[in-house]
Structures are given as structure tokens and as C-alpha cells.
Chain A
Amino acid sequence: MKRIVILGAGTAGTMMANHLRNHLKREEWEIDIIDEREEHHYQPGYLFLPFDIYEPEDITKPIRDFIPHGVNLIHDAIDRIVPQEQFVNMVNGDRLHYDLLIIATGAKIAPEETEGMLGEEWQKSVFDFYTFEGALALRNKLREWEGGKLVVHITEMPIKCPVAPIEFAFLADSYFKNKHMRDKVEITYVTPLSGAFTKPKATTALQHLLDVKHIQIESDFAIEQVDNDRKIIIDYGGREIPFDLLVTVPTNKGDELIVRSGLGDDLNFVPTHKATLQSRDYENIFVLGDATNIAASKAGSVAHFEAEILTDNILRYINGEPLKEEFDGHANCFVETGGGKALLIDFNYTHEPVEGTFPLPGIGPLRLLKESRFNHMGKLAFRWIYWNMLLKGTHIPFVSTKMQEAGKEF
């Protein structure tokens, strides 16, 4: 009996458990998945929590509900991976031998990386919305906030879901309009990038929306510190931006267990082959989702496409066949633009988001890079797809793993 161990029962790890259990014979392969948490969070929901669009119960379910029969779920904390010996050491002293390891330990915020971010104003006037606790605290703040300078800020790239901060700014515009207090709120979007997004065509589309919604943008801002007394953020060049309410996306880093295992880069992400998803250092370690260092978005859709390709590659690896270099960096993201509308972007390592139709070329029904109500309904419907299809590894009809070029205006 051989053993596959999956570290992390988030989006990526759960999908791998489901895919692999379907493909590997139970009498030949034991599959274990380890996660110390009890609850699975639908992380895209964190964006909606602060605006009272979702309730906490909409976005949390027991991890156990998504782990298939025939996979052992181990609820314990991991100390480290010992790749030379093929062991996972647990904090409680247990050691688990693996033949094949899948790292899906994700990314988390590290506000301690920025001076003053965790200061006196943390969760008073400085908030994150990348954690459940942060999003909830921010919801409570927004319910009673009377207005002023709202600064939506990205510390540094890469971050999970790179469009979420701009979506937050758009949704804030809608939220304050609905509360009849938009005139009391000045919204500024502060980014270390040169513009609203990393890719030129999407930047143009998003910049237009920022203008329409009267959201100021401050670009090329590399934060040095949060000054809690003066309520300003300061960049290394000395630029100062005042805030009454700062909603920041702190530095994102991989899990500390990656550091303890000696497997990470300077942000604790695991060096990974970008097309096969095999670890660069150990051939029997594979990595997917936010835990990798590859230059794809850290997003659930990416983990979904990766999981389909990685499943093939693991079966090939087990059979002694060469791995397929298939992963193309495909990402597909709804971008909430407020007012019950959204746009949709579809891109990969080499193709930037462009206009067109999705998923059926020429038909849609979803429109790429254009605002529509239908796209917004798609985003809301996606929560159902996530819980009922995506995590279970069910293929989503018409949506291909590799990005399609048909139906797009390059």
C-alpha cells in the first residue's frame, strides 16, 4: 500500500483529494489530507461580508463535508515536511510517511511585514478583508461609519485574488450610494502597480470605471509604514496619503510550515515548475494553488484548472510516464463593479484579458471585459457551483482547463 499525503484542505487540496480518489485504486493507494481547521471558507465571500451582501453562514461549511469517502482527514497541526526522508512531522510528534506529497497550504496575510500596520489603529480604523475575522470586523465598522477618507490599499504583489481590492473600491462606491452618504466619502485606491491592474487592456477598462465612480487612484505606491497617530500611510519615497478608514491588503506569504521545511522562497512560496506543477527540488512533491511561486494568479479558478492538470500528471508520475507541460496559467475571474453588475476576465501566462464572449465563442452568454448584470449573476451563482461542483472535482460544462483563444478579440 502506497500513500499520498495532501497538506491543506482548502480549495486546491480538497479538489485534489476528490480527483485522486476517483482515479486511484483504494487497495493500492491510501490518501490522507491534513488540515488543522474544522471549517472550509468560501474565500471569495470575504469580499461581500463587509457590505452585508453575504452572512457568515453563507461562506462557511465543515471541511469534512467535502472530503470523499476513502480519504483520511487528519485534523492536526503540521510541524514540517522532511523531504529527504519523505515524512511529514506533526506538532503532536506523529510522523507520516509519504510516497507522494501534494502541498496545498495556501497563502495568508502578513500585516506584521509593514511597520505600524498592526498598531493601535488595527481593527479600529485599519482593516483587512482577506480573513474572516477582518472582513467581519470591517462589516461592523462600516455599519456605523459616518464617512470621511476611505483608502483601499494593496501593500505588495503577489496577493490572492488580485482583482479583489478594486472590487472592494467599486462595491464601497455602491454601498455608500445606497446608504445615501456617497457625498460624505472620498474613495482612494492605492496600488504598488503603475495602474489599476497588471495587464494593459484590463487596466484601461478598470481605469474607466474608477473615473466614472469618482474613485481616485494613487499608483506606484510602495508602502513603508502606517503612521497610527497621524492616520496616514507613507511610501519609501516620502509620499503621504491620509485616511480615516484604511482597508489594506497586507503582504501575502506562504505558510510558516514551508519555512520550517526549508522549501520556500523569500515569501514562503514553493518553487514550482510552472507547466507541470512539480516541485523544483523534489520529484515526488507537487504543489498547487496559492502555495506555489508560479506567475499565475492566486485564485480559486487557477487552482481548479491546476487540479485537473495535476491529476493527470500525478497519474503519469505514478505510471512512470513523462509529465505533461500543460498548465498555461489560465485564470478566469469575475470582477464585481458595483450596482449589480460585474465584468469577467479570462487570461493566462501569455494572453492578457481581452474582450469577447465566454464560455462559448461568439455566443457567451457571459461577456469578457464588459460590465453586465448577467456577469454579476454569474458571480453570485458561482458560490453554488463552488460548494456543489468545484470542490468535488466535477467538471464545469464548457469551461476548458486551457484558455481558449476562440471568441476573443486579440
Chain B
Amino acid sequence: MDRNIAGVTIQVNEEGYLTSFQQWNQEVGTALAQEANINMSPRHWEVINYLQTEFKNDVPLSIRKIGKSGVVDIKEFYQLFPIAPLKTASKIAGIPKPASCI
């Protein structure tokens, strides 16, 4: 479905995740973060950039992997994105919901 955010039209799925990463920019990310009551700081962006890089490299993401990434530990990841951090951060990053499991 289409939605307007930060002055542009993006396509999202029924759970609100962008369906095409090409439509993402930092303003879209900031606006999606505000909807999750998160004010983005440089530290937030470092984590988002990491998630996007892993996504582009086809690396499946998990909380465990992020904890071992060297970019952020799990404790801080939760401080930055307090509620369901991996899902929230993935949504802000414009990447698909992590397919953690079956």
C-alpha cells in the first residue's frame, strides 16, 4: 500500500515495512522513527547503517548477530530501540522484517 511520509510516497506492507529499499532516505527513516517515539541520534544512525549494510550483503539479521557485531551490544541496542529493537530498527532502516525463524 502507498503512504505519504516526509514529503514522499513510499510503498509499505501491511505491517508497515518498506517493500522497496530504494524508496528509503534519511528523512523517511527519521519520520518512521518518530512514529515509534524514537528521536534519532548519530549513534542510532550508526546502528541503522550497519543493518542496511548487512541487508545489502544478504546477511540474515538476529539479535545474537547484532550483539556480536562489534557495532553495538545488545544492552545498548535495547536502549536505543527499547521495544522489539530488531523489528523497530529494521522498519526505520527501510529493510524487511527480520525472518528470524520458522
Contact = CB atoms under 8 A, between A and B. Distances in A.
Interface of A: 156-159, 162, 192-194, 198, 220, 222, 224, 235-238, 266-267, 295-298, 329, 331
Given A236-B77, A237-B83, A193 B101 contact: yes
B84 A156 contact: no
A162 B102 CA distance: 7
A51 to B, nearest CB: 25
Most B C-beta atoms less than 10 A away, residue of A220, A222, A238, A298: A222
B74 A158 contact: no
Interface stretch (B26-34, B48-56, B63-71): B63-71
14 contacts: A156-B62, A157-B101, A159-B101, A193-B100, A220-B87, A222-B74, A235-B78, A236-B75, A237-B83, A237-B85, A266-B68, A295-B60, A296-B102, A297-B102
A214 B68 CA distance: 38
Contacts of B60: 295
A220 B100 CA distance: 12
Contacts of B62: 156-157
A267 B63 CA distance: 13
A305 to B, nearest CB: 14
Nearest to A236: B78
Nearest to B75: A236
B96 interface: no
Nearest to B14: A200
A220 B77 contact: no
B16 interface: no
Nearest to B77: A236
Contact of B82 (A193, A237, A295, A298): A237
A331 B100 CA distance: 17
A331 B102 contact: yes
A295 B83 contact: no
B1 interface: no
Interface residues of B, number: 19
Contact of B102 (A192, A224, A295): A295
Given A222-B63, A236-B75, A236-B77, A158 B84 contact: no
Nearest to A219: B84
A220 B97 CA distance: 14
Nearest to A331: B102
A339 B74 CA distance: 40
B101 A162 contact: yes
Given A194-B87, A220-B83, A266 B65 contact: yes
Most B C-beta atoms less than 10 A away, residue of A220, A267, A298, A329: A220
Contacts of A220: 83-84, 87
Nearest to B74: A236
Given A157-B102, A237-B85, 15 more contacts: A156-B63, A157-B100, A158-B100, A158-B102, A159-B101, A193-B100, A194-B84, A220-B87, A222-B63, A236-B74, A236-B77, A266-B64, A266-B65, A266-B68, A297-B102
Contacts of B100: 157-158, 192-193, 198
A295 B102 CA distance: 7
B83 to A, nearest CB: 7
A216 B87 CA distance: 22
B84 A224 contact: no
A156 B64 contact: yes
Contacts of A298: 102
Contacts of A266: 64-65, 68
Contacts of A267: 64
B55 to A, nearest CB: 16
Most A C-beta atoms less than 10 A away, residue of B63, B87, B100: B100
Contacts of A296: 102
Contact of B99 (A194, A224, A295, A331): A295
Nearest to A267: B64
A266 to B, nearest CB: 7
A198 B78 CA distance: 22
